[in-house]
Amino acid sequence: MASITFKGSPITTVGELPKVGEQAPDFTLTNDSLQDISLKDFAGKRLVLNIFPSIDTGICAMSARHFNGAAASLENTVVMNVSKDLPFAQKRFCGAEGLENVKNASEFKNTGFSSNYAVIMEGGPLVGLFSRAIVVVDENGKVIYTEQVPEIVQEPDYNKALASLG
C-alpha cells in the first residue's frame, strides 16, 4: 500500500502502482461515448494514464488541461484522464474547457482498473476514489514511468512523466 496525504492527513491506497518494466495490467473502462475500452485498444501506441479523484476538483482539472496541451505535440501517444467520474461529467468538463487532445475513461461500472492499478484510497474524506497518479505505458504495453503523487492536492510531475516518452 502507498502512504500518501490529503491536506497533510495521512491516508493509504489499496496497494502499489505497477512497477516500471512490468507489463501494464489490463483494464476495462468506459469512455465518454459509453463504450468499454481496454488496454488492448491502445496496442502499438504509447499511453499516458492521468489518474485522479475527480475532474470537478481544481488540481484534477489543472492536470487535465496540462496534459491536453502536451498531448497536441505527442506522436503515437494517447493521453487518458482516468477517474470514477461519470462519463457525462468527464465529457462536459472537457467540452466546456475545449480539451480535445485527451481521452476520458471512467470506472463507474467496471472495477478492474482500481484493483489492477491499486489506486483506491482507503481512508480520508475521499475514501473510495482514486489517488492522484501517473502511469506511462510504451507501445509494447510495458510500464515505463509511474508516479504516486504523495499529496492529493499536489500536481504530478508533468515534466518527468512526459520525459519518459523520450
Q: Catalytic positions, please?
A: 60
Cell reading at 104: 476520458
Residues 6+ apart with CB under 8 A from 76: 44, 45, 46, 139
Beta bridge pairs of residue 29: 37
User: Measured between alpha carbons, how far is 104 from 63 in angstroms, rounded to an integer?
Assistant: 13
Give the residue from 1, 19, 9, 20 showing the smallest Cα distance to 152.
Answer: 9
135: amino acid identity, one letter: V
Query: Distances from the Cα of 101 to the Cαs of 57, 66, 68, 152, in angstroms?
Result: 20, 11, 5, 24
